[in-house]
Structure 1
Amino acid sequence: MTNTADNFEKKSSESIIWFTVLPPILHIFRFISSIILARILSPHDFGIMGIITVMIHYSNNISNFGLTNAVIQRTKLASHHIDAFFCFNIGISTILFLLFYFLSPSIASYFNIYELETATQVFATMFLITALSDIPQAILQRELDYKFLALIEAVNVFLSIIISLVLALNGFGYWSIIIATIASNFVAMLLMIIKAKIRPHISIKHQYLKDLMSFGVWDFIWGQSKIIGDHIDKLIIGKYLGSEQLGYYDKAASIAQMPNDQIAKRVAMVSFSTFSRCRHEISELKKHFSKAFSICAFLNTPLYIGLFLVAEDFTLLILGEKWTPMIPVFKIFSLSFLIMAINEPISALNRAAGKLKIQTISRIILLIVLITNLIYFADQGTLTLSYIILYFNFASLISSFIILQTVINLAPSTSIKLLLPPTLSVTVMYLGITAYLQFYNTSGDWFSFILSITIGATIYTACFFLIPFSEWNFLRANALNKLQGKFS
């Protein structure tokens, strides 16, 4: 029993390392690619992709109806569960593909952007690719094989970068992103199918589908509320403010959300699998949650506060002066996504531990308030809407934390202790960077920009190793062991 528990914890830790270390490294290349694309393509191109990506991404998540996480969470999984998942997924995805294909003229007319018609028809093939990817990906996640998933993502990222840059340089505009996305995801789909060795059959047995639906329905509703909350602002801006303003807004949001997507969401994804396996052991839940929460706070806090501090230089030096209007929104998003990142492991535990229904209901109530305010204040501009998103994410964090208390009864003092190390360390980092910028009164050049980042990273690293926060002991131990192994 002890060996099984040790193996489980080892595999869980290994999964977090692979799924949160390799992808962010890859994301550096993706980020560089996005900067190059931003210099080649126009804000109008990114506005078109912002609209079409939101529509397809949202609808794509309808196709599996929450069954992916139902497969991961189940204690026992039969082949008939896989068959039911496969048939249901393919059926819904095919319907969505046809729906978007034939409604594309109406979509283009609604946004008054004629390019959307053909772009939507082509990009709708992602429905079919995702449907075939969901089953092998769910199996690999269930088995905590995140190492392979990280390697698959590496293939996806590099293919996407190569194809998009080649096409963009040859004048394909937004088509360079569409073609690269479809091609890279298709290859990733094939590799996952081969690895998972799943051969589902065209067969649906009602009882097995019902087994998955019992969890999947609420997970589906939760997922839809999450996606709407993450993307509804872009649709509203595209409608009321036009593609150019959406281009600025979407670029600010897409850059700011990178640490959340590449760190916090990945930690939460692995943690959901881990929490699901030990959800009946409160002590184990507390232990794994404390680690996941500490990792998210430790990594995301300095990244987002750093982005906030260097937002202006970052935009002007890396993206170029044509992106200047996005700077105020970019700063607000840096704070907004920090709050979202801290909330990721909390909501993952709530859902895995059986509090999915109440988590979803609270999210829907907040979402109704969000949409009402976004529409009402749409004419106030993108900065006002970014503040509304900030308040929404903060309210979501408070709501998730209250629900968490019913799961593991985490004392407020414990929560403060988990947040104290990164908060104090990033405060010291903030003061150091601010003092440098004010004392030397330099900004707008590469030397100042790079030195600001170097100072911030050095200060935060020094705090990590020198200040004896007990909450960081496991992180320090791992870091020191790796350093000793490297130099011994």
Structure 2
Amino acid sequence: MEPKPSLKKKTIGGLFWSFGDLIGNQGIQFLIQIILARLLLPEHFGLIGMILVFIALSNSLVDSGFTQALIRERNASQADYSTVFYFNLFVSLLIYGVLFVAAPGISRFFAEPQLVSLVRVLSIGIVINAFAVIPKAMFAKEVNFKAQAKVNLTASILSGIVAVGLAVTGYGVWSLVLRQLSMNAIQSLLFTLSKKWLPSLVFSIASFKRLFGFGWKLLVSGLIDTFYTNVYFLIIGRQYSASQLGYYTNASRFSEIVSQNLAVTILRVTYPVLSSIQDEHERLKQSYKNITKLTAFLIFPVMVGMAAVGEPLVLLVFGEKWLPMVPYFQLLSIAGMLYPILALDLSILQVKGRSDLYLLLEIINKISLTILLVLAVWLELGVIGLIAAAILNTYLEFFINSHFSKREVAYPAAEKVRDLLPVYLVSFLMGGAVWMFGTLLETSLLLQLLLQISAGILFYIAVCRIVGVTELKTVYNLILSIFDKIK
């Protein structure tokens, strides 16, 4: 069923600015990351990696699932927004106090004395972020990503300038800390000024109970997911050196530029749009199916292609001293292939109001990952073994998520596999061809990379056209729609 013009226009407009945000914001951040990687040492990134799990869990606690609850709420009131704001601010201050006191214990756990001051300063960002939660939720609810794109781009540029300046003048790991804090501060300030929203002097118990009733399950599942997303930093930081964690940290961020950031971009547009048609069952299913197929069409070849050109890409971008991160980057790219599909499966449960199933799936999937991680550590398989466990678990999650999500939207795993298998196979076929082509080239790294990428794009488009992958035409029409919008 074709979407209504208003819904289609809203989705295309949201995608345009959301992808603009991705390309501009992440492009700037990636450029800054490259500059800092060349100025700093792997152990500097490793020290920050040790703290990431605590910061990420804290930010999830501050949100408390309220953001998604507000977006899903059809008629959120000023009392709703004000209640969530005050609760978020209170929780952020409480968490900062806990981390301030816990900093020496964290330092002893990793046997890194520097972590005491690093944790206490970097944690300030948790409080700063609490001021931006409501304006961001309002923009997302309106599918207004133009404003968010402008804010994020400005914050990335200014914080990047701060970080590079500090790195050049010898501030080492502190350049990374102050980069994050300045980005948090600029984003919060600009979001508040852009939305021109201020809380009222009201805290509604009724609003809190209603929103928290939906959001608490998302909070718990979000905490579980955040912990396991960052558990690798915890294990590697504890078991291995700061340098190895530094290699893993940059490999993880490098691979996530496409998988997780593109997934977040798609989800933050599709979630409010799909929420608006949550009661139109057939239309919802078709939209969900189309989004899933289109996401796979875009992300599968990019992730496989990144793995195929991993070595020349890392050498060209980061330099010789980062060569040990190549196998980590290649495996993490493969692991990230299914991440957007898994996120869409969980998102549809939120759309249907099944935060209970969302939580159940997080628990089931993380139990399976725990078993695999324990086996990898017990068998002493090293960092490679830990990443291999993540790859295996993504496939287990795919079938588990599909089994439960089909209860809400009739899109079972068998049908989903049939839809995704052509693109999956073509992507790996393309990746193999690109890797082999690279082994035959004897030229500069830049030229080799450009030739491999060009060959991969042409190969993928040609094979997709031969086997009749319909998403090729969908992307073509989407591009035409975006150009029409620009005009």
Task: After TM superposition, give the deviation of residue 217 of structure 1 in Å.
Answer: 0.6
Question: Pairwise mapping of residues 58-73 of structure 1 onto structure 2 (< 5 A)?
Answer: 58-73=57-72
The letter of the residue matching 1:477 is N
Contact 1:264 1:341 in 2 (8 A): yes
Tell me, in whole angstroms, the C-alpha distance in 2 between the residues paired with 1:311 and 1:26: 23
Contact 1:62 1:224 in 2 (8 A): yes
Tell me, in whole angstroms, the C-alpha distance in 1 between the residues paired with 2:265 and 2:485: 26
Task: After TM superposition, give the deviation of residue 477 of structure 1 in Å.
Answer: 1.6
Distance 1:355 1:191, change over 3 A: same
Matched, 1:226 2:220: no
Name whichever of 317-326 and 121-130 sits farther off: 317-326
Tell me, in whole angstroms, the C-alpha distance in 2 between the residues paired with 1:186 and 1:422: 41
The letter of the residue matching 1:389 is A
Contact 1:268 1:292 in 2 (8 A): no
Contact 1:313 1:443 in 2 (8 A): no
Task: After TM superposition, give the deviation of residue 424 of structure 1 in Å.
Answer: 5.0
Identity of aligned residues (%): 24
Match of 1:473 in 2: 473
**What CA deviation, in whole Å up to 9, does each residue of 1:262-282 have, x standing for no partner?**
211210122111222211111
Tell me, in whole angstroms, the C-alpha distance in 2 between the residues paired with 1:451 and 1:357: 48
Contact 1:70 1:215 in 2 (8 A): yes
Match of 1:460 in 2: 460
Tell me, in whole angstroms, the C-alpha distance in 2 between the residues paired with 1:21 and 1:401: 30
**What CA deviation, in whole Å up to 9, does each residue of 1:114-163 have, x standing for no partner?**
11111111111111111111011111111111121122111122122211
Structure 1 residue matching 2:278: 3-state secondary structure: coil
Name whichever of 362-371 and 67-76 sits farther off: 362-371
Matched, 1:266 2:288: no
Tell me, in whole angstroms, the C-alpha distance in 1 between the residues paired with 2:368 and 2:414: 30
Distance 1:324 1:471, change over 3 A: closer
Match of 1:390 in 2: 391
Match of 2:167 in 1: 168
Match of 2:7 in 1: 8
Tell me, in whole angstroms, the C-alpha distance in 1 between the residues paired with 2:130 and 2:21: 25
Match of 2:370 in 1: 371
Question: Pairwise mapping of residues 320-399 of structure 1 onto structure 2 (< 5 A)?
Answer: 320-378=319-377, 379-399=380-400
Name whichever of 164-173 and 367-376 sits farther off: 367-376
Tell me, in whole angstroms, the C-alpha distance in 2 between the residues paired with 1:199 and 1:485: 33
Distance 1:417 1:258, change over 3 A: same
The letter of the residue matching 1:419 is L
Distance 1:483 1:208, change over 3 A: closer
Question: Pairwise mapping of residues 101-116 of structure 1 onto structure 2 (< 5 A)?
Answer: 101-116=100-115
Task: After TM superposition, give the deviation of residue 256 of structure 1 in Å.
Answer: 0.9
Distance 1:239 1:376, change over 3 A: farther
Name whichever of 128-137 and 75-84 sits farther off: 75-84
Tell me, in whole angstroms, the C-alpha distance in 1 between the residues paired with 2:232 and 2:484: 48
Distance 1:210 1:443, change over 3 A: farther
Distance 1:344 1:21, change over 3 A: farther
**What CA deviation, in whole Å up to 9, does each residue of 1:412-452 have, x standing for no partner?**
564245324533542453354244235x3547733222211
Match of 1:450 in 2: 450
The letter of the residue matching 1:267 is I
The letter of the residue matching 1:24 is I
Task: After TM superposition, give the deviation of residue 345 of structure 1 in Å.
Answer: 1.7
The letter of the residue matching 2:408 is V
Question: Pairwise mapping of residues 159-308 of structure 1 onto structure 2 (< 5 A)?
Answer: 159-308=158-307
Contact 2:309 2:435 in 1 (8 A): no
Tell me, in whole angstroms, the C-alpha distance in 1 between the residues paired with 2:366 and 2:481: 45
Which stretches in structure 2 are left out of the alignment for 5+ residues? none
**What CA deviation, in whole Å up to 9, does each residue of 1:262-315 have, x standing for no partner?**
211210122111222211111221232133223321221121111111112222
Tell me, in whole angstroms, the C-alpha distance in 1 between the residues paired with 2:284 and 2:61: 30
Tell me, in whole angstroms, the C-alpha distance in 2 between the residues paired with 1:421 and 1:472: 12
Task: After TM superposition, give the deviation of residue 242 of structure 1 in Å.
Answer: 2.9
Tell me, in whole angstroms, the C-alpha distance in 2 between the residues paired with 1:332 and 1:304: 10
Distance 1:415 1:368, change over 3 A: closer
Contact 1:93 1:128 in 2 (8 A): yes
Structure 1 residue matching 2:166: 3-state secondary structure: helix
Structure 1 residue matching 2:408: 3-state secondary structure: helix
Tell me, in whole angstroms, the C-alpha distance in 2 between the residues paired with 1:235 and 1:74: 36
Task: After TM superposition, give the deviation of residue 201 of structure 1 in Å.
Answer: 2.5
Distance 1:65 1:478, change over 3 A: closer
**What CA deviation, in whole Å up to 9, does each residue of 1:380-408 have, x standing for no partner?**
31011111111122222221111221122
The letter of the residue matching 2:460 is Y
Matched, 1:437 2:438: yes
Contact 1:43 1:247 in 2 (8 A): yes
Distance 1:366 1:423, change over 3 A: closer
How many correspondences in the alignment?
A: 483
Name whichever of 325-334 and 217-226 sits farther off: 325-334
Match of 1:423 in 2: 424
Structure 2 residue matching 1:279: 3-state secondary structure: coil
Contact 2:14 2:143 in 1 (8 A): yes
The letter of the residue matching 1:478 is L
The letter of the residue matching 1:118 is S
TM-score, length basis structure 2:
0.92
Structure 1 residue matching 2:198: 3-state secondary structure: coil
The letter of the residue matching 1:400 is N
Contact 2:132 2:188 in 1 (8 A): yes
Distance 1:83 1:319, change over 3 A: same
Name whichever of 13-22 and 143-152 sits farther off: 13-22
Task: After TM superposition, give the deviation of residue 483 of structure 1 in Å.
Answer: 6.7
Task: After TM superposition, give the deviation of residue 372 of structure 1 in Å.
Answer: 4.4
**What CA deviation, in whole Å up to 9, does each residue of 1:32-82 have, x standing for no partner?**
221221111111100111112221121111012111111111122122111
The root-mean-square deviation of aligned C-alpha atoms, in Å, is 2.4
Structure 2 residue matching 1:338: 3-state secondary structure: coil
Task: After TM superposition, give the deviation of residue 464 of structure 1 in Å.
Answer: 5.7
Contact 1:87 1:202 in 2 (8 A): no
Task: After TM superposition, give the deviation of residue 484 of structure 1 in Å.
Answer: 8.6
The letter of the residue matching 1:410 is Y
Tell me, in whole angstroms, the C-alpha distance in 2 between the residues paired with 1:187 and 1:290: 38
Structure 1 residue matching 2:158: 3-state secondary structure: helix
Name whichever of 195-204 and 274-283 sits farther off: 195-204
Structure 2 residue matching 1:201: 3-state secondary structure: coil
Tell me, in whole angstroms, the C-alpha distance in 2 between the residues paired with 1:295 and 1:470: 9
TM-score, length basis structure 1:
0.92
Which stretches in structure 1 are left out of the alignment for 5+ residues? none
Match of 1:410 in 2: 411
**What CA deviation, in whole Å up to 9, does each residue of 1:211-236 have, x standing for no partner?**
10111111111211211121111111
